Amino acid sequence: MKQLVERIVKVERTLSERKGAFNLFALFLREDAPGKWDLLIAAPWAEKGKLDTLRDVATELQRTLDKKELLQLSRIVVIDEKDPALRAFQQAFHVEHGTAEIQNSNLFGLQIRHAYLITSRRSDTAPNKALQQTGPASDGSRG
């Protein structure tokens, strides 16, 4: 799993350099989907053309991940920047271009067995003020 997460971090960095910063980029393992990870993303540019966004993210995933890793992904979900659950999540967890882990939590109304946060920041937060998290925060505490 460590290798998959490292490659997902690489995908996030590449896309954020090319397209613009993400406000959320995270892998979620839902309780009801064992073994399949959802990639949740939010960015101002992502909402403008969701189909183009999904294609760009999928293309970069295919470039970076091997077939076994790709099979571990279930779907890519673009979260609306105005979603109140996103705002609450961003207030609780701050990380950019790193990794923080959350286990056994209810996030976005879903029971999540495990999550890896690559980036979680409010759009009004300057990138250099975001906490760089590299170790696990598996107790669900601020990351």
Torsional sign, CA 31, 37, 43, 45 = negative
Mean of all residue pLDDT scores within the chain: 84
pLDDT higher than threshold 80 for residue 143: no
**CATH 3.30.300 is held by the domain 2-129:** yes
pLDDT tens digits, one per residue of 7-37: 999 999 999 999 999 999 999 999 988 889 9
pLDDT tens digits, one per residue of 49-84: 889 999 999 999 999 999 999 999 999 999 998 888
DSSP code, position 19: H
Closest CA to 100 of 56, 139, 43: 139
* Across 121-133, average pLDDT: 51
Q: Is 99 exposed, middle or buried (0-12, 13-18, 19+ CB in 10 A)?
A: buried
Phi, psi of 104 (to 5 degrees): 50, 65
Q: Are strands 110-120 and 24-30 parallel, antiparallel or unpaired?
A: antiparallel
pLDDT higher than threshold 90 for residue 6: yes
With cut-offs at 50, 70 and 90, classify the pLDDT of residue 135. very low
